Structure 1
Amino acid sequence: MNWDDLKIFRAVVKTGGLKKAADKLDMHHTSCARRLKMLENDLGTKLFNRLPSGYRLTEAGQRLTRSADIIYDEFNDIELDLTGKDARLEGDIRITLPIGFATHLLMPAIHEFMQLYPDVNLDINMTCRVRDLAARDADIAIRHVDNPPHSLAGKRVIQIYRSAYASHQYLKSHNPVNEPLDCHWLGWGDAENHLKWPQKKKFPSIPVRGNMYSDVLQLTAIQDHMGIASLPCFIGDVAPGIRRIPTAEAEPNDWIWVLVHRDMMSNARVRTFMNHIALAFEKHRDLLQGKAVF
């Protein structure tokens, strides 16, 4: 028997419905239904009668409710004890974040956190892989994604905006609007995915050339006059030697998330760092949304 399945069972009991239980647990209702069915299969008995008015406990479900409440109380006591011991702001935090956030936005905030909490050691790894958290390779992941995995918890902070950029020198000899075939995009991933970029849709005739899997790498390339790149506005609007190409606007893209594994949400130093970084993003809202004026 899985304790996570028991938590879903208790939530359905308390709320009287699958959808309400899923909302309470911040899960998708289909995932809750699947896990509940697995629990019934493991126990070899039906726990609920599914009625139009809601979920009603069977006799077996009523017996399990009493046992689940006892187990919950025991786990809650253990969690409170461990949380109290872990409430001190000292120890390690393993952080993973994209290189662009590290080098162009968050380092002052990270420096400030280290000054405020000298007993907390930050172990920082620059990568874009969300699965680091699921594998417990990191405690916190800062990501720009639309839908993070359901196994993770965290804060959805601000939507990131992007635009199309090239160097001043490149735009002196290339005209993306009137002579698009003489220009080219710097690619990132499969060529067909480039058509999903809002900027690419406005300039469909500009061909794509090469692949460079990093905003910072693409920035370096366009600063060396190699072509046009789709960049986050917080990088492109402040980088020297480049500007938005003619008629390009700031377009909304993915959301910024500060994510943790659900088991880490009660960790005091992790929560403190999450709040600190979320506030740092909020301070840069205009820059992230392409509204900053320089």
Structure 2
Amino acid sequence: MDWDKLRIFHAVADAGSLTHAGDVLHLSQSAVSRQIRALEESLNTTLFHRHARGLILTEQGELLFDATKSMTKRLDAAAARIRDSEEEVFGELRVTTTIGFGTLWLAPRLTKLYEKYPDLNIDLMLEEKVLDLPMREADVAIRMKEPSQADLIRKRLMSVRMRLYATPEYIQEHGAPERMSDLSAHRLICQNITSEQVGAGASFVQSLLADDVQSLLYVNNYFGVLQAVLHGLGIGVLPDYVTQDFPNLVRVLPDHESAEVPVFLAYPEELRQSKRIAAFRDFVQEEIISHRKQLAQKGNP
């Protein structure tokens, strides 16, 4: 199959128009059209439905477009590896992690990474959905469980537990609960157990709700939970790493916490030699080592 024709097909399918694809490829509309017809003839199929407002892929066209998208992502990965010099770190790095970890831990620390590598551009994708790294939906991920794909390089970074926190002002005004049943006199701020989150967090919240909590505030991510806690709305369920940047938070009911949540960094095997990946990996590990040292100095577990 002619690679040049596939490249032109991909541009047309992506743009939905011969004219727009021609502009991208710096080819005339007639030249693009000829290449598409030749590709259709070689495959003995129709790849596009043509109508007045543009082009729509046929079922066969969709299959081919899926294949060219995968090829393009892998070619981009190869190009990224080639561009990574031995001395410099530059270009785009697409990082995915959860909203909570990304907003509360990672984003506030990126200043240090940019200071060290000013030519690095981070595309930070924060969502609970697990993006497909082998299909290059992202370059590197920080996940709250061990990745299951076999073709990923993975490294365990640390462990997290969900705990109960409030501000000193809230405790002074409302008192601190001494036992789980005392939570019924307080507002609990947490994620709904039906929302997308790690299982350990949902199980911990479920155990708290069993104690007849009367007042609730549900927020669908830990950033929102933290903001509510900081503004004195109640006692919040938060990951323990928030205490590094918010040391004044008071831990409530210290004998109660979630099960351990492992945190992994993962990236595709094909990016093993990427200088950008190595720079990001080393930066995250250094920040975690610093975090552990701070905890040890404070005598926290």
TM-score (norm 2): 0.57
Q: 2:190 aligns with which of 180, 187, 190?
A: 187
Relative distance call for 1:290 and 1:237 in structure 2 (3 A) is farther
**Structure 2 spans left out of the alignment, 5+ residues:** 1-76
Relative distance call for 1:82 and 1:134 in structure 2 (3 A) is closer
Q: 2:262 aligns with which of 255, 266, 272?
A: 255
Q: Which residue pairs with 1:212 in the alignment? A: 219
**Counterpart-to-counterpart distance in 2, 1:196 and 1:287:** 29
**Counterpart-to-counterpart distance in 2, 1:244 and 1:252:** 16
**Counterpart-to-counterpart distance in 1, 2:104 and 2:248:** 16
Residue 95 of structure 1 aligns to a residue in which SS? strand
**Counterpart-to-counterpart distance in 2, 1:233 and 1:272:** 26
- 1:142 maps onto 2:147 in alignment: no
- 1:120 maps onto 2:120 in alignment: yes
In the TM superposition, residue 282 of structure 1 has moved relative to its aligned partner by 1.8
Residue 260 of structure 2 aligns to a residue in which SS? strand
Post-superposition CA distance 1:203-254 (Å, at most 9, x none):
8515273421211110111223322222122214652764111444666621
Relative distance call for 1:163 and 1:86 in structure 2 (3 A) is same
Relative distance call for 1:174 and 1:200 in structure 2 (3 A) is farther
Q: What is the letter of the counterpart of residue 148 of structure 1?
A: P
In the TM superposition, residue 82 of structure 1 has moved relative to its aligned partner by 8.7
**Structure 1 spans left out of the alignment, 5+ residues:** 1-78
| Contact persistence 1:83–1:267 (CA under 8 A) | yes
- 1:265 maps onto 2:272 in alignment: yes
Relative distance call for 1:105 and 1:181 in structure 2 (3 A) is closer
Q: What is the letter of the counterpart of residue 185 of structure 1?
A: L
Q: Which residue pairs with 1:30 in the alignment? A: none
TM-score (norm 1): 0.58
Return 125-134 or 283-292, whichever deviates more: 283-292
| Contact persistence 2:90–2:276 (CA under 8 A) | yes
Residue 266 of structure 1 aligns to a residue in which SS? coil
Q: Which residue pairs with 2:228 in the alignment? A: 221
Instruction: Describe how 1:15-164 pairs up with structure 2 within 5 A.
Output: 83=81, 86-88=84-86, 89-107=89-107, 109-145=109-145, 147-151=146-150, 152-164=152-164
**Counterpart-to-counterpart distance in 2, 1:189 and 1:289:** 33
**Counterpart-to-counterpart distance in 2, 1:227 and 1:290:** 29
Return 176-185 or 117-126, whichever deviates more: 176-185
- 1:239 maps onto 2:238 in alignment: no
